[in-house]
């Protein structure tokens, strides 16, 4: 199916919207000769790619048109946020967004299906979810942008073989934290370190990619009703060579092994509760310590999986104490702390952030397992076994106090 057809949605009535981009057919052949474009097209996670002419000024509007082949997806703005480096984040949802997350006690929220970061250099980085399809908007240098339809089957497995062991005995469940009660707000600050290998392989604005990962995480916290706010404490780069993710996690965490030791001083200086290393590792999407104390609040994430696939939020979820769905978890510190897989009456299958994929595949939603939230009429958790929201409520202030 052509990329334009896959995103087709005819214009509906209402206020006029500004086109965010146009497909630059004339640029495609020229771009195809560029090494960066060739690398992008050859990546196993790329299903299709098109060159774009970006209208950055459109991000000042409340509505956007995402035109493709004479048809258009119409998106309305939900909210907007500034970034620390002078950029902004634009959160939007399709005009006729279906199946909003319904929160039984607190009301309802419409999850953002489009999140776009306008960087200080004027480039745009973003993720678009349309039904079961994922598209990435990314800068490719020299003012050029690409629209990538992502082949999620081409991504690495979620974790490397063998999860890291718990660095400390897990605490007993807190009886004072009740299911359905998100508690007071907590702010978790994250330091992102990108390897030069990841930056070279990505070819775009990696700081904007980090901002997008934080923005997606914050949208997921909203969708799951967690009362958590994530901040990008700082973004740094390193010439540390990419290796196997499990080994790199140990090197990142160890402050005295002669590898990445400087990260610990930076963490203290910027007040980061959690540290994430973005790499070009291909053996997994990511890895992190489960239910970590401050000394082990570290994770390694592959750049291909960091956004859109929600691996950035997933690995920080491990640090907070959340675990996978029951079929794919071992040694969970909380009996109710698992991700969740579920089906709608239509037969569509979904999973929450911490869940592994279903047999035969299911779409990952940017939300946390929570029995008090429904999606399309189906509950997104189980009070006894799949309530990541309760784990986050119990642990968020602990993690937010690491620095």
Catalytic residue list: 315
Structure tokens at 155: 């991504």
Taking the C-alpha atoms of residue 110 and residue 81, their distance in angstroms, rounded to an integer, is: 17
């Amino acid at each position: 199916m052509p990329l334009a057809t896959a995103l087709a949605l005819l214009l509906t009535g209402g206020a006029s919207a500004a086109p965010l981009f146009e497909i630059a057919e004339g640029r495609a052949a020229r771009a195809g000769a560029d090494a960066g474009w060739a690398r992008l097209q050859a990546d196993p996670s790329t299903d299709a790619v098109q060159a774009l002419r970006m209208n950055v000024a459109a991000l000042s509007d409340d509505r956007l048109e995402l035109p493709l082949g004479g048809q258009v997806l119409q998106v309305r703005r939900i909210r907007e946020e500034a970034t620390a480096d002078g950029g902004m984040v634009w959160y939007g949802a399709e005009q006729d967004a279906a199946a909003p997350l319904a929160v039984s006690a607190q009301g309802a929220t419409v999850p953002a299906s489009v999140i776009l970061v306008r960087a200080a250099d004027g480039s745009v980085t973003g993720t678009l979810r349309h039904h079961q399809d994922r598209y990435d908007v990314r800068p490719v240098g020299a003012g050029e942008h690409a629209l990538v339809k992502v082949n999620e089957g081409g991504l690495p497995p979620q974790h490397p073989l063998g999860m890291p062991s718990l660095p400390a005995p897990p605490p007993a469940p807190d009886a004072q934290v009740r299911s359905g009660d998100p508690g007071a707000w907590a702010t978790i600050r994250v330091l992102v370190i990108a390897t030069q290998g990841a930056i070279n392989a990505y070819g775009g604005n990696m700081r904007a990619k980090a901002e997008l990962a934080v923005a997606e995480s914050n949208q997921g916290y909203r969708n799951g009703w967690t009362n958590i706010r994530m901040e990008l404490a700082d973004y740094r780069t390193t010439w540390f060579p990419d290796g196997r993710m499990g080994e790199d996690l140990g090197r990142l965490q160890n402050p005295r092994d002669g590898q990445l030791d400087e990260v610990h001083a930076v963490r203290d200086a910027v007040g980061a509760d959690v540290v994430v290393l973005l790499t070009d590792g291909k053996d997994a999407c990511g890895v992190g310590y489960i239910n970590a104390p401050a000394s082990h609040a570290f994770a390694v994430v592959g750049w291909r999986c960091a956004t859109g696939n929600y691996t950035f939020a997933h690995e920080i979820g491990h640090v907070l104490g959340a675990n996978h769905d029951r079929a794919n978890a071992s040694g969970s510190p909380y009996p109710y702390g698992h991700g969740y897989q579920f089906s709608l009456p239509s037969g569509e299958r979904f999973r929450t952030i911490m869940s592994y994929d279903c047999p035969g595949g299911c779409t990952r939603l940017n939300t946390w397992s929570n029995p008090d939230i429904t999606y399309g009429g189906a509950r997104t958790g189980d009070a006894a076994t799949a309530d990541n929201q309760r784990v986050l409520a119990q642990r968020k202030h602990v993690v937010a106090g690491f620095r």
